[in-house]
Amino acid sequence: MRAYLDNAATTAVLPQAAEAALRAMTECYGNPSSLHPLGRQARELLQQSRGQVARAVGCAAECLIFTSGGTESINTALRAAARKNRHLGRHIVSTSVEHDAVLNTLKSLGQEGFEITLVAPGRDGSVSAEALCAALRPDTILLSVMAVNNETGAVLPAAQAAAALKRRSPAALVHVDGVQALCKQDLPLDNVDMASFSAHKIGGMKGCGALYIRRGLAITPLLFGGGQENGVRSGTEGMPQIAAFGAACEARMKTRAADAAHMRALRERLIAGARALGAHINSPENAAPHIVNLSMGRGRSEVYIRALGERGVCVSGGSACARGRASHVLLAQGLPKSNIDAALRVSLCPESTEEMIDCFLEALGQAARLF
């Protein structure tokens, strides 16, 4: 493969993470709940990994539980918050650009009698703090906002909206989907009760995530069983994935500032090159550096993806979960149909290079001639 540029869908596992997983499978393979030496060793590895992820999140280790991924963390957080606060009201605020893990959980809560308000983005993909605050009501019991949008890289004003909600209704709960922000952006947790994270977007393994739960907040679990992870997430811990998550967080946090500068420079090169080919940029100006959404304004995403793939370039049309459906994010932005149909998401990681960007631009120019 010449240019893997689909890092918002998933990343390669970092060598440090793969080594940590291998060690968890072949040396520290005990069950962390077992009392014998191998169990103790696994428990120590579990706590060490929790510390590594907590440092990346910016919280105390005891506030973090491991889950099977961002989707499970989000489901746990939203369902628990709605259940906890339903005696206070029935109104939930979120945005129309959230990941399906949030939107579909909210949809199911809607079917159970909760009223959901989804705040739309502007045409450039950004969501204003004013619009989010205007949606809050005295009976709002939960606010869920993503930190960084997975299709456009838009940075959402989660902190401002959270502060506004807590000022008016201290008992209301705030959840942040931090999946695309972890190890990339600061995520202030001041007014945040719960935040969701995923390992496979930062060089960890698929099938592993974490949920931050503010100290003192007791929540109902999604899964009942042996009471692991503070009773919030029963089931024997997936130690290879957890160890890899910890190692990936530690590696990424060491070079975070330099990595962000590197990806910002690549983003500028990509945007300048794409504009020179006539592309429209569907991401806001001040988006996170690792995600750029663009359209040539003609043709279809799937045809571009196939043509680019034949030249060794991997990008996507939007969220990998959408599998070819028109992007709900770009629809919410109110972009013309021709831009939505031809949208491509290019997403970077610290290992992305200028050569990969140039390779993408060359292949894009050739693919656009098909239409």
Tell me if 70 contacts ligand PLP by CB under 6 A.
yes
Contacts of 15 (CB under 8 A, 6+ apart): none
Q: Of 335, 285, 315, 278, nearest to 153 (Cα)?
A: 285
- x/- track of binding to ligand PLP for residues 123-162 (CB under 6 A): -----------------------x---x------------
Task: Provide the H-helix boundaries in the chain.
Answer: 15-26, 37-57, 70-85, 100-111, 129-135, 158-168, 239-254, 256-276, 301-310, 328-333, 337-341, 354-368
DSSP strand pairing (91-95 vs 140-146): parallel
Q: Single out the residue of 71, 94, 105, 144 in contact with ligand PLP (rule: CB under 6 A).
A: 71
Q: Which stretch binds ligand PLP (CB under 6 A): 65-73, 86-94, 227-235, 322-330?
A: 65-73
Tell me if 78 contacts ligand PLP by CB under 6 A.
no
Q: 340: helix, coil or strand?
A: helix
Tell me if 284 contacts ligand PLP by CB under 6 A.
no
Fill in the DSSP letter of residue 61.
G
Interacting residues with ligand PLP between 95 and 114 (CB under 6 A) = 99, 101
- Rounded to a whole number of angstroms, the minimum distance from the CB of residue 81 to ligand PLP is 16
Write down the catalytic residue from 63, 321, 349, 359. Answer: 321
Q: Single out the residue of 32, 69, 121, 153 in contact with ligand PLP (rule: CB under 6 A).
A: 69
Q: Which stretch binds ligand PLP (CB under 6 A): 69-77, 108-116, 152-160, 342-350?
A: 69-77
Q: 155: helix, coil or strand?
A: strand
Amino acid identity, residue 80? Answer: A
Size of the site for ligand PLP (CB under 6 A): 12
Tell me if 11 contacts ligand PLP by CB under 6 A.
no
Tell me if 238 contacts ligand PLP by CB under 6 A.
no
- Rounded to a whole number of angstroms, the minimum distance from the CB of residue 174 to ligand PLP is 16
Distance CA 55, CA 57 (A): 5
Beta bridge partners of 212: 64, 195
Q: Which stretch binds ligand PLP (CB under 6 A): 175-183, 230-238, 282-290, 344-352?
A: 175-183
Distance CA 104, CA 107 (A): 5
Task: Provide the H-helix boundaries in 145-195.
Answer: 158-168
Tell me if 121 contacts ligand PLP by CB under 6 A.
no
Distance CA 103, CA 134 (A): 20
- Rounded to a whole number of angstroms, the minimum distance from the CB of residue 103 to ligand PLP is 10
Nearer to ligand PLP, 52 or 241 (CB): 241
Distance CA 67, CA 71 (A): 9
Q: Single out the residue of 85, 117, 144, 198 in contact with ligand PLP (rule: CB under 6 A).
A: 198
Residue with nearest beta carbon to ligand PLP = 70
Number of CB atoms found within 10 A of residue 229's CB: 21
- Rounded to a whole number of angstroms, the minimum distance from the CB of residue 70 to ligand PLP is 3
Decide if 249 is catalytic.
no
Q: 335: helix, coil or strand?
A: coil
- x/- track of binding to ligand PLP for residues 199-218 (CB under 6 A): ----------x---------
Q: Single out the residue of 6, 177, 193, 341 in contact with ligand PLP (rule: CB under 6 A).
A: 177
Q: Of 82, 87, 139, nearest to 105 (Cα)?
A: 82
Contacts of 183 (CB under 8 A, 6+ apart): 56, 202, 248, 249, 252, 253, 256
Q: Single out the residue of 142, 172, 179, 330 in contact with ligand PLP (rule: CB under 6 A).
A: 179
- Rounded to a whole number of angstroms, the minimum distance from the CB of residue 40 to ligand PLP is 29
Distance CA 41, CA 39 (A): 5
Contact positions vs ligand PLP (CB under 6 A): 69-71, 99, 101, 146, 150, 177, 179-180, 198, 209
* Positions marked catalytic: 321
